[in-house]
Amino acid sequence: MIEKPECKACSKEQSLGSLLNDLLYSLFNPYYREKGSFDTTELIKKYLKEELRRFDENPFFRELLKDLGFSNGYWTEQIEKYQMARRKAWEEVKELLEAGKLSREDLSINQLVENFFDEVVEELKKIGYIDYVEGKFHRRVVKYKAIAERIIGDKILSIALEELEKKSRGENLTEKEGVSIFSGANIVEFDPMLHSFDNIDLCESLVKSAVRGNIELEEIVARQPKHAEKCVYVMLIDVSDSMRGKKIVGAIEAGIALRRAIERKGGEDELVVLAFNHRVSKVKKEEILNLEPRGRTDIGLALRSARRILSDRSGTGIIFLISDGEPTASYDPSLTPWVCALREAKMLRSVSAKLQIVMFGNETRFFEFCSAMAKLCGNSRLLHFSDPLNLKKYILRRF
């Protein structure tokens, strides 16, 4: 029997292993830092002539690579030589991985993305994670395909859960008595209409019968079950101009982490993600990675949209409002942006929503505004995050 020869392209793809998934995450979150024992910068220098090595060590040359607007023919030629050296270095990295001379642990994914941006993008395009890249040189925006959210979501969860303190468990249980398989502390008479067999406390039942002097089990008691509530999460992500940089990355990571956590747990919990600036739009699964900040901030419109969603659904409504500044727009022309947002915060009482206000910013006026919203809603918490990339950990802990 003649064996089919091994596909070289497939072999190379398999040799990259989980590195491609990690590269995808690092491309999305350029602030994630990781150390590696193998320096790919030195590998690029191996393919550069002495003259270009001096340029590579100069930060001005690296900036020039991002913007060719003022470069003359000489610089264009040198940059082309540098790009060729980079491509050769990338091919050698893949060959070393394929031969087993390099492992995933040897490499820093953020260094790979910084040194081989174009090459990484092409690899991720081939396997269907990236659709295309907008712009060029100084500002390039990656447009991800739907599968990318699942890959990045798993990475976000793994990083967050590794660093998450184990403070409590949860299945959305409340202290209220109710109907569920989760038993509380109170002993009550067993009622087959209210309790499941999981709620029966056999030891307490035997003790009660023994106290009465009976050997047989005459009275069956149960632990009063807690109420297992369905939760409807509405995440309002500010995508106005001021949310650029770490803030939008942190907000997107929080949305993806919560969605992946809900999907993994199963059950009836629901998450609705809304992006808002001076407009509001519902964000589908495959769209959250491609959110891009632009426009003004209408918090009143965002809160109104969340209230309308919760009014049509049963269960406990929990709203995460993620923003970095005061409202600058109002959907109601008769009201100022502040007054409009405060009015909508008060109207959340009509749907008994829990409002979690997540602040990115230290301005006194913004803090006063958020405090006023929290008081008007009543059932609220005000949280400040100096590091937006830690937001996913808080979201997962609350979940």
Residue 361 makes CB contacts below 8 A (sequence gap 6+) with 324, 325
Residue 298 has what pLDDT? 98
Is the separation of the CB atoms in 41 and 115 below 8 Å? yes
**Percent of the chain beyond pLDDT 70?**
71
Distance CA 373, CA 299 (A): 10
Tell me the two tokens of residue 28.
Answer: 């999305």
Distance CA 360, CA 283 (A): 21
Residue 190 has what pLDDT? 58
Query: In the structure, what pLDDT confidence band is assigned to residue 393 with cuts at 50, 70 and 90?
Result: confident
Q: Is 371 helix (H, G, I), strand (E, B) or coil?
A: helix
Among the residue ranges 257-266, 279-288, 332-341, the one predicted with the least confidence is 257-266
Q: pLDDT tens across 221-280, in order?
A: 666 665 556 889 999 999 999 999 999 999 999 999 888 888 887 778 899 999 999 999
Q: pLDDT tens across 125-166, in order?
A: 999 999 988 876 566 889 999 999 989 988 888 887 776 554
Q: pLDDT tens across 89-108, in order?
A: 999 999 999 888 999 889 99
Does position 167 have pLDDT exceeding 50, yes or no? no
Give residue for tokens 């519902």: 282
Among the residue ranges 34-38, 68-72, 330-334, the one predicted with the least confidence is 68-72
Q: What is 272-305 written as a DSSP string?
A: EEEEESSSEEEPPGGGGGG----S---HHHHHHH
Q: How many CB atoms lie within 10 A of CB 138?
A: 11
Does position 174 have pLDDT exceeding 50, yes or no? no
Query: In the structure, what pLDDT confidence band is assigned to residue 15 with cuts at 50, 70 and 90?
Result: low
Q: Beta 316-323 vs 231-238: how paired, if at all?
A: parallel
Domains defined along the chain, listed by start? 8-143 (no CATH), 162-168+229-398 (3.40.50.410), 173-228 (no CATH)
Among 117, 118, 99, 96, which residue's Cα sits nearest to residue 107? 96
Give residue for tokens 């959210």: 149
Does position 372 have pLDDT exceeding 60, yes or no? yes
Q: Beta 270-276 vs 183-189: how paired, if at all?
A: unpaired
Residue 189 has what pLDDT? 65
pTM: 0.74
Residue 95 has what pLDDT? 92
Residue 12 has what pLDDT? 47
